[in-house]
Amino acid sequence: MTEEKNFLSYSAATFENLANWPDADIPLMALVTELIPELCKVPYDYLLRDDPAAMVECTLLTQEYLNLDTIIANLDVYNFEAEAMGAKLRFYPDHCSDIDRSEYFIKGPEDLDKIKFKGLDTGRFPYLLRYCDAYKKYTGADTFPMFSAPWTLAGNLYGVDNLVMDTMEDPEFVTEFLNRIVDDFHVPMFRALAEVLPGFHQVSLADAFASIPVVTPEIIKKFIRPSLERLMDKLNMPGITMQDTAFFGTAQLSGEARKEYEEFIIWSNDMFFCIDPDLTELTPEYARRIATEHMVPLMAGIAAKQVEFGTIEETVEIIKNFVVKGKQGPTPLFFFFNNLSPKTSIDKLLAATKAVRIYGAPGADENTPYELPEIITFEDFLKKKLENNPAGYTFEWLEKSGYSYLK
């Protein structure tokens, strides 16, 4: 087997081997939306709008270079539905695309009829489908797009401040707003995707606006959870599961309010999602206890600022503490790097991922020695890939990149 196939096979096997927990390596996941175009020196708008195959190649190369098992939400996941509805989206060569919030797409009840799914040939749905095809071509594995959860999508269409205020001033409108998103957009969208994506099995949602203190446990109870329940009920597709992620703020709650929020996280994720800053304040022992009590996996993670600004020694110690204590239970531990900054030096990035590999191995403990990884620049990594390219990457994007001289 080639070096590349070995790496991709190893990453897939890491997840498959979780059935043997605790005799299994900890899967290593990351959100690196900005790191991909910066590391590959490719304009953001080219990757996010123009060339989905290039986005796949850059994603997989970044994944292998950083030694990650999978990259989560590498696309601008919060924009696809809004764009397809007709909301104005701005693309930039030097940073991520974003919805134009100078004038919100939804201004009030009179605009709710604008929420309608018009087919997979609208917006960047064709881009997404080509992305999924290219991903399977290179990896042999299915991948499925991640979208905004109803609440977060509503916040982008209407303004999250406006949405939160209306939960008190006009709750009927908020409920109708979320219902329209579910009934008139999400349900037909996911059904359409299931028809064209082989093996479609999960409704993957990002829900950053459902974090504390953006919302309260009361808003979650009255609006957010009912919209997710409605989505799955209306979709009514046996075998399709839901995962709604990106929740923060658990440590800001206490007593019954914290318990309710934790139960919502577990219900919507089938795991306990607890990363920094919550994890540091609550402690990995606490997070492990909650996961064990509910018999679900634990997803733990370190703050991106720590990796970027802390010393390597400090970061390795924190990761060791999180991993060694987090894996001491009957359910698997997943480790997650959230939104790693492209400004983080390569030696710090590679040192952090290696720490997870070392201490996340079966039998590793606080006394397991740590050795700094060998540092290879991304340019040298690319040169090796150009010489040995068993996956068949086209590398056509190099012509658009700061590495054009390598082609």
> Is residue 384, in this structure, part of any structural domain at all?
yes
Residues 33 and 113 in one domain: no
Q: Tens digits of per-residue pLDDT, 348-386?
A: 999 999 999 999 999 999 999 999 999 999 999 999 999
Residues 239 and 161 in one domain: yes
Which residues span the domain enclosing 213? 77-246
Nearest-angstrom CA–CA distance, 406 and 375: 20
Residues 115 and 199 in one domain: yes
Residues 101 and 129 in one domain: yes
> Is residue 85, in this structure, part of any structural domain at all?
yes
Residues 111 and 241 in one domain: yes
> Is residue 259, in this structure, part of any structural domain at all?
no
User: Averaged over 324-346, what is the pLDDT?
Assistant: 95
Q: Residue 176's domain is classified under what CATH number?
A: 3.20.20.210
Q: Tens digits of per-residue pLDDT, 83-131?
A: 999 999 999 999 999 998 889 999 999 999 999 999 999 999 999 999 9
Please state whether 305 falls in left (phi above 0), alpha (psi between -120 and 50) or beta. alpha
> Is residue 258, in this structure, part of any structural domain at all?
no
Residues 346 and 276 in one domain: yes
Question: For residue 75, which of 93, 59, 94 has the smallest C-alpha distance?
Answer: 59
Q: What percent of the chain has pLDDT over 70?
A: 97
Residues 91 and 50 in one domain: no
- Check residue 6 and give its pLDDT: 55
Residues 225 and 298 in one domain: no
Residues 98 and 220 in one domain: yes
Q: How many domains does the chain have?
A: 2
- Check residue 3 and give its pLDDT: 44
Residues 82 and 41 in one domain: no
Round the CA-based radius of gyration of the chain to a whole number and report it.
21
Q: Which of 203, 231, 246 is a domain's end point?
A: 246
Q: Tens digits of per-residue pLDDT, 219-233?
A: 999 999 999 999 999
pTM, two decimals, is 0.93
> Is residue 119, in this structure, part of any structural domain at all?
yes
- Check residue 7 and give its pLDDT: 59
Residues 110 and 129 in one domain: yes
Residues 277 and 397 in one domain: yes
Which residue stretches of 44-86 are H helix? 44-45, 52-66, 80-85
> Is residue 256, in this structure, part of any structural domain at all?
no
Confidence of residue 26 (pLDDT cuts 50, 70, 90): very high
